[in-house]
């Protein structure tokens, strides 16, 4: 019998960076996305990293995409490594070019599934948190079944954006089609649970996902929010 693979410990710190660039910098951003993927992964202290495009997440198709906003999601081996990376390398280079930036520091609370064949957020210890929480969802669609998924998304997105307790939501993806997800920020774990388990459109999509086999790979993770800095669309969603 093969030995079961054990999940790695959860990273002590996960950071999400969102940068807005001017229209004239969009070609620079597109070029750097290709170059900086490898550079970010090779940064000392980085356990897992993804450079991401963004959008409004309302349909998860190309028309959602926002070529002036870009993102990075990074899992760190230590907070010291994250602090060192502020001074040199990929992250400060994007920071210098950005017309607006927002960073949020996170601690994994739960994680289920895989991203590019890995469990980036490990196996977090269950912890109670009374403050704001964040969620990251990510999926790789089964190509032959993507059309059915896209038809199901708009009602879920509408429910999400009018959900009580939602502070911010941004579509994130490694490619315009097929590899996509959402980062959402909530005022409490209860608000997130209410959306996940009580929203009619969302619970219907959960049911249909298992029936239709929309995803070739999927991940859902929940995080405690530690701190934030900067602005997102002119304000810090955490106030």
pLDDT in tens, 48-58: 999 999 987 55
- Output the pLDDT for position 176: 61
- Output the pLDDT for position 77: 97
In sequence order, what are the residues at sequence separation of 6 or more whose Cβ sits closer than 8 angstroms to the Cβ of residue 216? 140, 141, 142
State the pTM of this model: 0.86
Q: What is the mean pLDDT of the chain?
A: 85
Mind listing the pLDDT tens digit for each residue in 157-202? 666 777 899 999 998 988 765 567 889 999 999 999 988 776 555 5
- Output the pLDDT for position 1: 44
Q: Which of 128, 106, 120 is nearest to 17 (CA)?
A: 106
Whether the per-residue pLDDT at 85 is higher than 60: the answer is yes
* CB 136, CB 46: distance < 8 Å: no
pLDDT band at 139 (very low <50, low <70, confident <90, very high): confident
- Output the pLDDT for position 2: 45
Q: Which residue has the higher pLDDT, 153 or 82?
A: 82
Handedness of CA 76, 79, 81, 85 (dihedral sign): positive
Q: Which DSSP string do the residues of the chain spell out, in sequence order?
A: -PPPPPPPPPPSEEEEEEEE--GGGHHHHHHHHHHHHHHHHTSTTEEEEEEEEEE--SSSSGGGEEEEEEEEEEEES-HHHHHHTTTSSHHHHHHHH-SEEEEEEEEEEEEEE-BTTB-TT--PPP----S-EEEEEEEEE-GGGHHHHHHHHHHHHHHHHT-TTEEEEEEEESSSSSEEEEEEEES-HHHHHHHHHH-HHHHHHHHHHHHHT-EEEEEEEEEEEEEEEE-BTTB-TT-
182 pairs with which residues across the strands?
Answer: 137, 171
- For the chain, the first-to-last Cα distance in angstroms comes to 53
Q: Which of 65, 107, 126 is nearest to 227 (CA)?
A: 107
Mind listing the pLDDT tens digit for each residue in 6-49? 578 899 999 999 999 999 999 999 999 989 999 999 999 999 99
Domains of the chain: 13-230 (3.30.70.100)
Mind listing the pLDDT tens digit for each residue in 89-138? 999 999 999 999 999 999 999 999 999 999 999 999 878 888 999 999 99
């Amino acid at each position: 019998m093969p030995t079961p693979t054990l999940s790695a410990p959860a990273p002590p710190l996960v950071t999400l960076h969102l940068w807005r660039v001017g229209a004239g910098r969009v070609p620079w951003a597109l070029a750097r996305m290709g170059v900086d993927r490898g550079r970010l992964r090779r940064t000392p202290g980085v356990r897992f990293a993804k450079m991401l495009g963004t959008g409004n997440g309302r349909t998860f198709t190309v028309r959602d995409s926002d070529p002036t906003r870009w993102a990075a999601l990074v899992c760190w081996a230590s907070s010291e490594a994250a602090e060192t990376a502020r001074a040199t390398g990929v992250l400060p280079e994007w920071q210098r070019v950005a017309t607006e930036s927002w960073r949020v520091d996170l601690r994994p609370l739960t994680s289920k599934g895989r991203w590019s064949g890995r469990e980036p957020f490990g196996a977090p210890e269950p912890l109670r948190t009374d403050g704001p929480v964040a969620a990251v969802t990510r999926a790789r669609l089964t190509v032959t079944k993507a059309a059915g998924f896209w038809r199901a998304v708009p009602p879920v997105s509408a429910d999400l954006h009018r959900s009580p307790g939602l502070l911010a939501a941004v579509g994130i993806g490694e490619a315009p089609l097929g590899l996509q997800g959402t980062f959402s920020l909530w005022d409490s774990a209860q608000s997130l649970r209410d959306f996940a388990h009580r929203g009619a459109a969302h619970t219907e999509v959960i049911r249909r996902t298992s029936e239709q086999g929309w995803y070739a790979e999927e991940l859902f993770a929940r995080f405690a929010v530690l701190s934030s800095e900067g602005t997102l669309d002119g304000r810090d969603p955490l106030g």
